[in-house]
Chain A
Amino acid sequence: MTIVLTIAGLTLREAVRRKVLRSLAVLTVLLLSLSAWGFSRIDAEFGGLTSGESKLIAAMVLNLVMFGLSLIAALGTAFLAGPTVSGEAESGIALAVLARPVRRTAVLLGKWLGLVVFGTGFVAVAGTAQLLIVKLTTGYWPPDPVAGLALLAGQAVALLTLGLLLSTVISPMASGIVAVGLFGATWIAGVVGGLGGALGNASVERIGTVSQVLLPTDGLWRGAMRSFQDPSLLSQFSEAFEGHPFLSAAPLTGTYLIWAVAWTALVLALAGLAFQRRDL
């Protein structure tokens, strides 16, 4: 356990010292300021909207900005996770560390834990800041902010776990790119699936469902969106929800959540197995 915590601390220190945190903070502040300005304009420009309409717009724009945040979290953690194993193996940093009396699985778990703390911390801080900005500018407060942020963090964790698995088998750069590419592809597949649902085309809808099972980032993201939307909106504006990329019509099922956790555990176990067998 000491080894896991030592390596987790080391991973966090790397994120801070290598200016990853600083670049993420700059990006986030930029996004938050833009959104603060945007939300204040929504209130000023759309004075004539009904309270329901302005809620819908606030929820939609909030989801859009949250998507931006989740993208920053996903890119940040995937590119941190990517080089962590293969990069250290290539450079030689891993040699001195793994020649110590440590189990490789403990080292990998430590890295994973450090990245999870980093990703979750980022989502918690930046997400809360965003929710407060929306509250101050438009007065909108989502129905279930904690569950929403937890699902966003879950999305980052799923992606970084995949990044970690990839980094045990392919080169550092490739693993980051593949992880982010898969993340984007799943999101698009989710959007396509949503459109399929709206058009009543079952086979197109299935694209979204299958991709959400293969990589749960998009499914978790849709669950998060749902937590940020006022539930009254769905009954009021059910048409707006059909196939909309930044509104979620269906709730997240318990089975899907269990699958997302199992998927993450499975990918982490595979990463451990691949790392255990790897010659350095």
Chain B
Amino acid sequence: MWASGLRKRYRRRQAVDDVTFTVARGEVVGLLGPNGAGKTTVIKMLLGLVRPDAGEIMLLGRHGTDPASRARIGYLPELFRYQPWLTADEVLRLHTRLAGAAVPAAEQRACLGLVGLADRAGDRVGGFSKGMQQRLGLAVALVARPELVVLDEPTSALDPIGRADVRDLLLSLRERQVAVLLNSHLIGEVERVCDRVVILDHGRVAASGTLAELLGQRELRLRLEGVTPEAEALLDGAARDGDAFVLPIRDPDDVPEIVAGLVKLGVRVHAVEPGRITLEERLLEVIRAGEDR
């Protein structure tokens, strides 16, 4: 999947502004960002549900404006609702027909089993709870043997067990070389399963890269006493967290030099804890940087 220069304006608000990113085969890419950052609009543009004002989309080797480009794509919308007058297996049959895929009934049943709805196959969707409808939505996204799966908040209505199931599902998709685009507010989830992350803010790509690239920045937590103005100059860029200084560092090998420098300036060093920032911290940092601009 390849999207380039996507733009969308709703009246006076620029919802999406020059968004470019790719998802490769067998790769799980997370789409992150605050509410209203344009994540769902980007997803809807990829799937032809929203017309972009500008930009180009290629899906599985075809131009995005060609409906056939969506033949091997599975999609779970953020707003998941399925025909309430149909049964769960009728919904799957409908979607395999719409996708033009010849999927045997047994395989469709297996797909329902995969999301834990095997015993509800003959029940009308109208009687399903929200969580069950979301599980059905996952089955719909997976039933037509997709090569790209787009999941918009796939665990919003699921219990912790359901979330763990989705995580396992995502990992198994990656093993089968299926590309996955995942929009989720659950950063822990994204951090655990995604190979790459695209952070959107105010409709723009604020940061993107592999987890190692994004979280590559490490930090050093120091508990110090007798910090002189000269020492503070050395700690330039550090944030105060209670009585500790948190200093971002590029290379762990810099730590001995920093400590030696502080000692030389007469600072008493009580504790030195190297650490790595979490995706959540990185996300907040990116969003705050955007607000400051």
Partner of B98, one of A13, A97, A280: A97
A92 on interface, CB distance cutoff 8 Å: yes
Q: Is A45 an interface residue (CB 8 A)?
A: no
Chain A minimum-CB-distance residue to B49: A280
B67-95 near A? 1/0 per residue, CB < 8 Å: 11111010111011111011000000011
Total cross-chain contacts (CB, 8 A): 71
Across the interface, which residues of A come within 8 angstroms of B50, CB to CB? 279-280
List of B residues within 8 angstroms of A103 by Cβ: 67
**In this complex, what residue of B is CB-closest to A97?**
B98
Q: Does A53 contact B (CB under 8 A)?
A: no
Given contacts A3-B98, A279-B51, A280-B49, are A96 and B82 in contact (CB under 8 A)?
yes
Asked if B97 is at the interface (CB within 8 A of a chain A CB), the reply is yes
Contact of A93 with B by CB under 8 A: yes
Of the residues B68, B77, B97, contact of A95 by C-beta under 8 Å:
B77
Cα separation A188 to B237 with both chains bound (whole Å): 79
The answer to whether B44 and A93 have CB atoms under 8 Å apart is: no
Q: Which of B31-52 contact A (CB under 8 A)?
A: 44, 47-51
User: Are A101 and B67 touching (Cβ within 8 A)?
Assistant: yes
Using CB atoms, name the residue of chain B closest to A18: B85
Residue of B with least CB distance to A14: B85
Question: Are A6 and B94 neighbours in the complex by a CB distance under 8 Å?
Answer: yes
- Mask: chain A, 1-35; 1 = CB below 8 Å from B; 0 = not: 01100100010011001100000000000000000
Q: Quick check: is A98 within 8 A (CB to CB) of the other chain? A: yes
CB contact under 8 A between A6 and B80, given known A98-B49, A101-B70: no
Q: Is the CB of A92 within 8 A of B98?
A: no
Option from A14, A95, A100 in Cβ contact (under 8 Å) with B83: A14
Question: Which residues of A from 82 to 96 have beta carbons under 8 Å from B?
Answer: 91-93, 95-96
B286 at the interface (CB under 8 A from A): no
Instruction: Tell me the B89-107 residues at the A interface (CB within 8 Å).
Output: 94-95, 97-100
* Inter-subunit contact B68/A101 (CB<8 Å): yes
Using CB atoms, name the residue of chain B closest to A106: B67
Task: Let me know if B100 and A2 touch, CB within 8 A.
Answer: yes
Query: Which A residue's beta carbon lies closest to that of B69?
Result: A101
Interface size class on chain B is: 20 to 34
Complex: how many Å from CA A174 to CA B119?
A: 39
- Indicate if the CB atoms of B97 and A2 lie closer than 8 Å: yes
**B76 proximity list for chain A (CB < 8 A):** 96
A102 to B67 CA separation, bound complex (whole angstroms): 6
CA distance A13 to B97 in the complex (A): 16
B220 interface contact, C-beta 8 A = no
Is the beta-carbon distance between A100 and B81 smaller than 8 angstroms?
no
Rounded to whole angstroms, the CA-CA distance of A280 and B50 in the bound complex is 6
In Å, the complex CA distance between A279 and B73 comes to 20
The answer to whether A101 and B82 have CB atoms under 8 Å apart is no
With both chains docked as a complex, state the minimum distance between the C-beta of B147 and any C-beta of chain A, in angstroms.
Answer: 13
Residue of A93, A100, A280 ringed by the most chain B CB atoms within 10 A: A100
Nearest-CB residue, chain A, relative to B68:
A101
B81 contacts A6, C-beta separation under 8 Å: no
Min CB–CB distance B134 → chain A (angstroms): 12
Q: How far is the CA of A17 from the CA of B84 in the complex (A)?
A: 10
- From known contacts A6-B97, A6-B98, infer whether A100 and B70 are also in contact, taking CB-CB under 8 Å: yes
Residues B85 and A17 in contact, CB atoms below 8 Å apart: yes
Residues of B within 8 A of A92 (CB): 77, 79-81
User: Which of A17, A91, A93, A98 interacts with B48 by CB under 8 Å?
Assistant: A98
Assess whether A125 is interfacial by the CB under 8 Å rule. Answer: no
Q: A13-B85, A18-B85, A280-B44 are in contact. Are A101 and B79 (CB under 8 A)?
A: no
- Interface contact A101-B100, CB-CB below 8 Å: yes
How many Å from the CB of A39 to the closest CB on chain B?
Answer: 37
B30 sits at the interface (CB 8 A): no
- Cα distance A95–B76 in the bound complex, in angstroms: 9
- B67 closest partner in A (C-beta): A101
Residue A96 contacts which of B67, B80, B97 (CB distance < 8 angstroms)?
B80
Confirm or deny: A99 has a beta carbon within 8 angstroms of a beta carbon on chain B. Answer: yes
| Interface presence of B137 (CB below 8 A) | yes
Q: Which chain A residue lies CB-closest to B98?
A: A100
CB distance from B248 to the nearest CB of A (A): 41
The 0/1 profile, CB within 8 Å of B marked 1, for residues 238-280 of chain A is: 0000000000000000000000000000000000000001011
Question: Is the pair B99, A101 in contact by a Cβ cutoff of 8 Å?
Answer: yes
Q: For the complex, is B111 an interface residue (Cβ under 8 Å from A)?
A: no
Q: Which of A2, A91, A92 has the most CB of B within 10 A?
A: A92
Chain B residues in the interface with A (C-beta under 8 A): 44, 47-51, 67-71, 73, 75-77, 79-83, 85-86, 94-95, 97-100, 137, 140
Q: Which 7 A-B pairs have the closest CB atoms?
A: A92-B79, A17-B85, A100-B98, A92-B81, A95-B77, A99-B47, A99-B75
Given contacts A99-B47, A100-B70, 7 further A-B pairs with CB under 8 A are A10-B94, A92-B77, A95-B75, A96-B95, A98-B48, A101-B67, A101-B98
List, sorted by A's number, 8 A–B pairs whose CB atoms are closer than 8 Å: A3-B98, A10-B94, A96-B75, A96-B82, A97-B98, A99-B70, A100-B70, A279-B44
